[in-house]
Structure formats: C-alpha cells, structure tokens
Amino acid sequence: MLPFKLVYSENYDLHLGDHVFPSSKYRLIHDQLLAEGIASEEDFIVPEPASDDDILLVHGQEWVRKLRCGHLTYADLLRLEIPYSREMVDAVWLSAGGSTLAARHALMDGGAMNVGGGFHHAFPDHGEGFCAIHDVAVAIRCLQADAAIRRALVVDCDVHHGNGTAAIFSGDNSVFTVSLHQLNNYPSVKPPSDLDVDLADGTGDDEYLRYLSDALDAAFRAGDYDLVCYVGGADPYRDDQLGGLGLTMSGLSHRDLMVFDAARHRHVPVMVSLAGGYAHRVADTVQIHVNTARALAESLKGGA
C-alpha cells in the first residue's frame, strides 16, 4: 500500500480524438500503476468536480459561462488548441476537483498525486495550450479560502513555461512560483514567475538537475510554505514531440525525487499534478508519469 493517495477518475479523459495530447494516458497510467504493483485499488480515490464557486476563485464569470454554455469564439478555440466538447469541460472541472482533493490529502499524509491536471497555461479569462481551467490554482485558492494553508510554492517542471500560473499569482506574496522550462518554446510571451529558469535547447540531465537544485534552494530561502504544488511534466523527455530538452527517463526520475526530498526535508507536504507529455511513444509518457508516483513513494518512505 502506498503512503499517499492517488486521485483518479476514468472521466479525466478529455476525449480529444486524434490529437498530439494523448488524454487517454490517464487511464493508462492508472492501469500501469496497478500492473507494476506500485499501487493497489485501495490507493486510488475518486474526486468530485470542482464547484463553479471554486472555479470562480481563479477564473472570471465570463470564461466560466463560455465553457459551461459552449459559447467559445473562434479566437478562444485557436488559443485553447483543443476541440470543445462537453466531455472536455466535465474533465477539466473534475481535474480541478482532483487537484483540490489531492492537496487536502497531501496535508494529511505528506504527499498526494492527482493522476491528471497540471493545466498551467489557463488564464483567469481564457484558455491556452490545451488548458481551459487552472486546476492547481483552484486547489491553492480553495485551501487558502478554508484557511487550510496560508502560503504555497508552485514548482513547475513542464518543458513549457507556466504562463497561466505566473499571471494568476503575479504580485501575490502568498504564492511563490518557480518555472523551469525550455526558453525557445511555447509560449512566445512568458509573464514573469517569481523565479524563472530559462533552459537552452538540448539541456540534459546533469545540467538540468543543477539548475533545479539551485532553484529549489532559492525558493525555500524566499519563505516558508504550507504546501508545495509540483507540476511534473513528462515533456522535458528527450523524445518528446513538443519539447526540445534532452532529459532521459532516469534524469526525470531524479528530478522528481529532488523536488520531493527538498520538500520532505523541510517538512512541507507535496501535491503532484502531471501536466504535459507528448513522447512519440505514448508508453514512454505513461512510464515517466508512473515513475513520478514511484519517486513520491520512495521519498515519503525515506522520511518515515
């Protein structure tokens, strides 16, 4: 049995059809966690969708209305880059509820993982880059509203800059945002995070891990936190279709463990969301995300 909960629903699939974003991966991750014996069915909990009031803690009423009613403009769809459907809307509301549930369980157990989410390109008034609702921001705002946490740290290790995260929390001292990303990649406009690490094309394991270690040290020097939200993108992988970094699977596992151990050593719980992954072989993306769960188990057991 895992020392933390995995939050998952079969309805996380956005039903995107033939799309570079393999949203069927969530089911595959669930199945592989069971097949490898990393998790048992008892380790999984099923979320409820976030309420509209929860979503409105981050997003504007007009954007919520557009999503609920299907009134997206052509410009909205161009920025979102995924087809609109009722299944997509239901999935992102559910993912926001999932990240909130995972955050609550992280406070109890020291860690938890949403087998989904990480939609870090969503802005308060629009969606971008496959992201319609910012589940991580919703989770933080929900827990802050309940006084469950005061201050959070977001560590974003997706290959793409967390532009939505940076915009949402700009000027907010209650959330410190870190983004390690490939500089010459999406998005073209990168609003400043509290700490941005712009990585050169082809950056490999050793250099990446040095930058990450320095970034974590700097972030934890900047203040005390009640929760770390880790956006564990699989797309820094060297064979990713939408990435240009050079990390191996082993390097990505070391990345995950470095984040988890840094938080554990400071007695700060970690909520994990998965974010992007577009490897030529979907099985590689799935394995990278499965390895993130394995790393979290290793870290938490190390602190037992």
Residue 28's closest CA among 88, 116, 144?
116
- Three-state DSSP state, 301: helix
Distance separating alpha carbons of residues 214 and 197, to the nearest angstrom:
10
Fold held by 22-302: Arginase; Chain A (3.40.800)
Q: What is the structure's pLDDT at 218? A: 98
Average pLDDT, rounded, for the chain: 97
153 pLDDT higher than 60? yes
Helix axes 282-302, 249-265, angle to 10 degrees: 30
- Three-state DSSP state, 114: strand
Q: What is the structure's pLDDT at 105? A: 98
The mean pLDDT value for 83-111 works out to: 98
199 pLDDT higher than 70? yes
Q: At 213, is the pLDDT very low, low, confident or very high (cuts 50, 70, 90)?
A: very high
Distance separating alpha carbons of residues 160 and 198, to the nearest angstrom:
10
pTM of the model: 0.97
Q: What is the structure's pLDDT at 192? A: 98
- Which value, in Å, is the radius of gyration of the alpha carbons in the chain? 17
Residue 29's closest CA among 139, 117, 145, 158?
117
Distance separating alpha carbons of residues 283 and 217, to the nearest angstrom:
33
Q: How crowded is residue 267: how many other Cβ atoms within 10 Å of its Cβ? A: 8
Distance separating alpha carbons of residues 19 and 265, to the nearest angstrom:
40
Look at 14-23, 129-138, 148-157 and tell me which has the smallest mean pLDDT.
14-23
Residue 28's closest CA among 277, 297, 301?
277
Q: What is the structure's pLDDT at 101? A: 99
Q: What is the structure's pLDDT at 302? A: 87
The mean pLDDT value for 158-185 works out to: 98
Per-residue model confidence as pLDDT tens digits over 57-88? 999 999 999 999 999 999 999 999 999 999 99
Q: At 304, is the pLDDT very low, low, confident or very high (cuts 50, 70, 90)?
A: low
The mean pLDDT value for 129-153 works out to: 98
266 pLDDT higher than 60? yes
What percent of the chain shows pLDDT beyond 90? 98
303 pLDDT higher than 70? no
The mean pLDDT value for 136-148 works out to: 98
Phi, psi of 114 (to 5 degrees): -85, 115
DSSP single-letter state for residue 257: H
